[in-house]
Amino acid sequence: MTTSHYIAGRWVEGQGSDCISVNDPALGQPFAELMAASVAQVDQAVAAARNALPTWKQVSANERAAYLRGFAEQLGQRREALISLQMRNNGKPRHEAEIDLDDAIATFAYYADLAEQLPERNREVALAAPGFTARTRLEPVGVVGLIVPWNFPLVTSAWKLAPALAAGCTVVLKPSEVTPLIEQTYGQIADTLGLPAGVLNIVNGKAETGAALSSHSGLDKLSFTGSNSVGSQVMRSASAQCRPVTLELGGKSAIVVFDDCDVDQAVEWIVAGITWNAGQMCSATSRLLVHDGIADALLPRLQQALETLRVGNPLTEEVDMGPLTSQAQWLKVASYFATAREEGLQCLAGGKALDRDGWFVSPTLYTDVPVDSRLWNEEIFGPVLCARRFSTEAQAITEANDSRFGLVATVCSADLERAERVADALEVGHVWINSVQAVFVETSWGGTKGSGIGRELGPWGLSGYLSVKHVTRCLG
């Protein structure tokens, strides 16, 4: 695959020095290669977006909405190919890959509806002072750079691309070098729909490409989803330009289980929160706080549930959990297993890499984990769950909030008044009550503390790509 970059409405060969190897994590083997974009090609992509901006931002809201609905429809028409690619390149089980695609489709459809409502957001402003009128005008922020991660390709890019296009922005998208293929679909769809050249540009590459984009003086905004270490570099680059950023970073989220829960139901919520996408989620509820009154009944049941999960190749087996997506992530998770042994943690389930081809690890449960453990505090990004007991609601809230992250949390309790009270007290951006992690495009996504800056999804996602202008006129 040589023509792997979409710049100014054309597919072009990569001219960078890096060769990107695309792997099947269930086999631990490459199945495609592509050349990274050069720094000069990043410049070309930004220039194309800049050239396209004056015309695109004048396109009517209804016309932009039609393009977005076209993206949704075209994703649906490519359904089986996209699901298969998610399974092969990410190692996702089929049911997860299906949900990812449905999420992306729903995102484009939702922002098509919001795009049509944008004219209504240009409105008169009431002034207390006589002799003046004022109106608010919402305008696209301009040329935006979008850098997306490997754990939810297609989805995360939809969360950024759809509201950016709805707002009237032009875009340079950089997918992860681990999963660079599926975002090519957006360029193919742009061709099919006749999206004006330069409105959407896609450049693939590794760190050099990402750094060239994040530090580019031609951008008006940057939106990044990924690790805290890279996010801090992105923020430094943006600060040199005084450029706004949206950062969706890491998490070390808590799931709080009270003693009035149904044990089997609680186990289902816990397992989903730590093994979905093999735990490779910024929102993974990897810290389990379980009430003393239910712990002795719940923990053995949880151990059994994790040990009986079917782990394997989603392309050849009926599985509950696939492999980790990259060898680097497999090595990282394995290093935490070694740290757990060094710390003397009690392992109830898993705690090891699986002896088979590919990058597989066992779903893992450690109990009575001290609060100063590295595994309790650090984002592992794998199916590794750490459990502690609590005796009071206040203790649960304190320990859940004792984290440098603040992305999500889950509360499990039959007492809905208590569950709502605890949800309100948690210092995070999104809380689920008695549920798996159901994410809806109408709600917001983002966190507090070290989990990032800004919000995606919902009307807040669109607002992130709009600039507010006031026009005040003297009547005298």
Residues annotated as catalytic (active site), given as ranges: 248, 282
Are 409 and 428 in contact by the 8 Å Cβ rule? The answer is yes
CA angle 33, 36, 38 (to 5 degrees): 160
State the Cα–Cα distance between residues 106 and 440, nearest whole angstrom.
9
Sign of the Cα torsion 43, 44, 50, 51 reads positive
Look at the block and give the residue holding tokens 């997306």. Answer: 148
Are 37 and 205 in contact by the 8 Å Cβ rule? The answer is yes
Tokens of residue 193, six digits: 């729909």
Query: According to DSSP H, which parts of 242-315 are helical?
Result: 263-275, 292-307
Q: For residue 107, give every residue at least 6 positions away whose Cβ sits within 8 Å of its Cβ, in sequence order, or none.
A: 155, 158, 159, 162, 441, 457
Look at the block and give the residue holding tokens 């966190």. Answer: 447
Are 187 and 200 in contact by the 8 Å Cβ rule? The answer is yes
State the Cα–Cα distance between residues 82 and 30, nearest whole angstrom.
18
- Total residues belonging to the chain: 476
Task: Order the strands of the 430-433 sheet from edge to edge.
Answer: 346-349, 364-367, 384-390, 287-291, 254-257, 408-412, 430-433
Q: How far apart are the first and last CA of the chain?
A: 65
State the Cα–Cα distance between residues 236 and 229, nearest whole angstrom.
11
State the Cα–Cα distance between residues 238 and 243, nearest whole angstrom.
5
Q: Which of 147, 146, 204 has its CA nearest to residue 11?
A: 204
State the Cα–Cα distance between residues 318 and 297, nearest whole angstrom.
29
State the Cα–Cα distance between residues 463 and 138, nearest whole angstrom.
9
The radius of gyration of the chain from alpha carbons, rounded to an integer in Å, stands at 23
Q: How many contiguous H segments (helices) and E segments (strands) does the chain have?
A: 15, 22
Are 171 and 201 in contact by the 8 Å Cβ rule? The answer is yes
Tokens of residue 203, six digits: 């450049």
Task: Give Cα separations from 368 to 270, 336, 373 (angstroms).
Answer: 16, 16, 10
Q: For residue 372, give every residue at least 6 positions away whose Cβ sits within 8 Å of its Cβ, in sequence order, or none.
A: none
